[in-house]
Amino acid sequence: MAATTKIEWGDMMIVSGVVVGAATFLFRKAIFGRGKTGEVSAAAAAAALRAAPASHGVASSSSSKSEYSEARDFVSKMRKAGKNVVVFYGSQTGTAEDFATRLGKDMQSAGVRPLVLDPESYDWQCLAGMNENELIVFVLATSGEGEPTDNMEAWFDALASDRENIDDSDIPEFFQPDDKDELDSDMPLSSVSYAVFGLGNNTYEQFNHHARVVDARMRALGATRVGERGEGDDDVDIEEDFAKWKAATLPLVREYLGATGDSGTDDTLQPTWAVAEIEVDADKVWVRGEMGDGSSSSSSSGSSPSEAGTTTIYGTHRPFIAPITVATDLTPSGERHVLHVEFDLEGSGMHYEAGDHLGIYAANSDAEVDLMLHALGLFERADTPICVRATDPFAAQQTLFPGTATTYRAAFRHYLDITDPVPRAQIASLVLPHARSAAAREFIGSLAADKDVHAATVSAGCLTPARLITAVHQIEAAAGVPKDEQLAIPAATAFELCPRMQARLYSISSSARVTPTRVSITAVVLQYNAQTTMAGALPLGASRLGVATNYLLAATNQINSGSLDPVVVTAANALAEAPQFDAKNHVIRSYVNLPSTLPVFVRRSTFRLPADASTPMVMVGPGTGLAPMRAFVQERALLARQSPEKAQGTSLLFFGARSAATDYTYRDELVSLFDDIKKTAPESRVITAFSRDQPQKIYVQHRLAENADLVYRTLLCGKDKLNGPSRAHIYVCGDAKMMAKDVSRALITLIADREGVSEDVAAKWISEMRRLSRYQEDVWS
């Protein structure tokens, strides 16, 4: 799977190069959901049960009845809850989940009764039980290289069986509903209606592939689509794509379901969360970002026996608290910081392979947290224990935080991402209704009404929820609005404005063969500069900092200097003296207390070294795209040292950065590793492209072209001509938008030239290499 990133947008995407893709933290299930739902929903569930029509029965025609589990029957659940729409989201890094939740609220306002669910907790076999007066909606992000998200994998595999060659004659075995005639063997979903919105990014080869395939297969299985398939593109404006699709689709859904009554917006102020300040024993209040008891994990990466004899399984839902053993700034004099951070996995039982990703849970900076607390008027009550519950007893997510209780401070520090600019739709539905002064209504109203104003002010200005609220307060103060009449956002609304904190994924840059219990990542520290004329007036200045990478930078400074930066910027003084940046380091030094450990987990990937070391490799990894290549090279060098008599395939590494003097990460180590590799594969080498070391820009794709003979020879694998796909492997890691495409084009030109064929023929050769997983990308945009 490709790497990627996401987003914090910030960090994510960036990441480190690595980022990756994705994975994510599907908190719900293992952590938050357990045991909580019953408490809140029991009464309502019982009432709904009494009122509900006969539940969806099961007499499987082809699937065994014994496979059926009532708890995983979404049709039955939907009916018991008195709903007529079920919205499933396929989400890797939280965006689709967020969109699905918002869609649920909008549908409620439109007079239909939706239930938003995670497909991972429900059985696709129940699909055929949906009736004509019901609707299923898919909100599906594409992940990896055109892959489904982890939580849709079972559904996708069942519906689309062979991903590469979907065969319409391949009919999955659905449960036979009790209340229907025998399912049509060719069109088992003929009574099912659905709508679909896909989330993707056009810089990936397989744009919105997940949603497209699910759409095509639903239709092939007899289902009827309501409205058009929506396709969001987060390289352009996915929020606007979503808004347009909703505007076109919701009226059709209303009509289809025969919704009567108002399609007004009475529900806009209906909060999703209920927040209660409570009295509770201190040991029940989770303030350090605790993540659950680890009794289950759907994607485990290791386990270790505890003293009590039970086994702790570590994974996305229960990360291992790993000591940071090494943290180094690899480019101390560069314009950007590239960090090398090592974690000790000893005792965790976790294993990893070169090419895997490491998920990390970081925390927001105290400056951002303080600003949020001030903006909400909660600064004085920051450490009050609170309990948070869903107001809808049937909501898939019944609580936002694990454990019995947390505090406002811990919620904003550990469990919510408070650094994303506020989407326009959220400003309209969650912020505007709380405006009490004309000045606030005018300013917020213009952001909600005009997408260009929103883009220029909120997106370009990096207006996070706290910055937006603070900016409104500043405008109100300037207009003479007294403090007690200014915008006041309730905590429950703020919790809805902020997506849940996601794990950031980084390509692992070490080899488990070399350091089995130590794992390293290589990450560039992220900063987004606001592009707005309002910049000077913005609280905390005009930049937004990547959550995880700035946390890692602060940890690196702490480990190496023994203390955090002495300048602690709090929201209070930031407001008085903004902006407060350390200009040299581009960082708000605002972490009050950093532990020397971080919660981590390993996420498996398909970006893998060939099993046979005689297979030649062409690796292209500029910037932090070097991370997985470093792991590969470490592994090949180890093999060369262990078996010097065994000839290896040539290893070519193309690395690029701005300047050799400041940005050539791991230079000495790479030279030494290639000295070892060359003893068994003499043509192996690192070829560098430093874009700013000469008047004209030179990138890795230029070096590929310059070294066409060597690259071609490596791909030939000793043959005279490339007849058919090569045995060699090509790896590309880094930027998806420009670099990965430029590299692909350079290779097509090179192949066409050397083989004497057209570029179309060469492009087909590249496609075939991709199909055979011999051309692999770990890219993000």
Ligand X SMILES: Cc1cc2nc3c(=O)[nH]c(=O)nc-3n(C[C@H](O)[C@H](O)[C@H](O)COP(=O)(O)O)c2cc1C
Contact between 16 and ligand X (CB under 6 A)?
no
Backbone angles phi, psi at 462, to 5 degrees: 55, 45
Task: Please confirm, yes or no, whether 263 is among the known catalytic residues.
Answer: no
Residue 232 beta carbon to ligand X: minimum distance, rounded to whole angstroms: 7
Q: Which of residues 55-94 bind ligand X (CB under 6 A)?
A: 91-94
- d(C-alpha 663, C-alpha 524), whole Å: 11
**Does residue 603 sit in helix, strand or coil?**
strand
Contacts to ligand X from residues 292-331, by CB under 6 A:
none
Judged by phi (left if over 0) then psi (alpha if -120 to 50, else beta), residue 355 lies in: left
Contact pick of 31, 58, 141, 750 for ligand X (by CB under 6 A): 141
2 is a contact residue toward ligand X (CB under 6 A): yes
- Segment interacting with ligand X (CB under 6 A) among 145-153, 162-170, 620-628, 765-773: 145-153
733, 735, 765, 781: which one is catalytic?
Answer: 733
Residue 578 binds to ligand X (criterion: CB under 6 A): no
> Please, which residue, 204 or 286, has the CB nearer to ligand X?
204
- The closest alpha carbon to 596, from 388, 341, 330, belongs to 341
Decide whether 2 or 345 has the Cβ nearer to ligand X.
Answer: 2
Measuring CA to CA, which residue among 251, 278, 530 is closest to residue 381? 278
Q: Provide, rounded to whole angstroms, the least separation between the CB of residue 354 and ligand X.
A: 18
Q: At what angle do helices 739-755 and 759-771 cross, to 10 degrees?
A: 120
Q: Active-site residue 273, yes or no?
A: no
Minimum CB–partner distance for residue 230 and ligand X (Å): 12
SS3 call for 116: strand
C-alpha triplet 678, 681, 687: angle, nearest 5°:
65
Q: Does residue number 684 form part of the binding site for ligand X (CB under 6 A)?
A: no
Instruction: Give the residue carrying structure tokens 């981590």.
Output: 600
Q: Which parts of 194-253 interact with ligand X (CB under 6 A)? A: 199-201, 204, 206-209, 234, 238
Angle in degrees, 0-180, between the axes of helices 238-257 and 95-109, rounded to the nearest 10: 40
Q: 380, exposed or middle or buried, with CB in 10 Å at 0-12, 13-18, 19+?
A: exposed
Q: Is 733 among the residues known to form the active site? A: yes
**Would you state the structure tokens that stand for residue 20, as one six-digit string?**
């990756």
Smallest gap from Cβ 206 to ligand X, in A, equals 4
CB of 303 to ligand X, least distance (A): 26
The residues, ordered by sequence, that sit 6+ positions from 11 with a Cβ below 8 Å of its Cβ are 5, 19, 504, 526, 546, 547, 548, 549
For the question of residue 286 being annotated catalytic, the response is no
Q: What is the DSSP letter of 27?
A: H
Which residue among 114, 129, 146, 599 contacts ligand X (CB under 6 A)? 146
In angstroms, give the least distance from the CB of 564 to ligand X. Answer: 31
Q: How many residues does the chain have?
A: 781
Q: Figure out which of the listed residues 14, 18, 20, 637 binds ligand X, where binding follows CB under 6 A.
A: 20
In angstroms, what is the minimal distance from the CB of 424 to ligand X?
A: 16
The active-site residue out of 241, 366, 392, 778 is: 778
Q: Which residue is nearest to ligand X (CB)?
A: 4
**By the 8 A CB rule, do 743 and 731 touch?**
no
Looking up tokens 């570029």 gives 759
Q: Taking CB under 6 A as the rule, does residue 334 contact ligand X? A: no
Active-site choice (109, 507, 520, 651) = 507
Q: Between 204 and 699, name the residue whose CB sits nearer to ligand X.
A: 204
In the complex, what is the shortest distance from the CB of residue 416 to ligand X, in angstroms, rounded to a whole number? 15
Tell me the CA distances in angstroms from 275 to 33, 36, 747, one per residue in order: 17, 15, 56
What is the Cα–Cα distance from 111 to 50, expressed in whole angstroms?
22
107 binds ligand X (CB under 6 A): no
Number of residues this chain uses to bind ligand X (CB under 6 A) = 33
Phi-psi group of 732: left, alpha or beta (phi > 0 → left; psi -120 to 50 → alpha; rest → beta): beta
Asked if residue 116 binds ligand X (CB under 6 A), the reply is no
Does 418 interact with ligand X (rule: CB under 6 A)? no
Residues with catalytic roles: 507, 733, 778, 780
Binding site for ligand X (CB under 6 A): 2-6, 20-22, 91-97, 141-146, 149, 199-201, 204, 206-209, 234, 238, 780
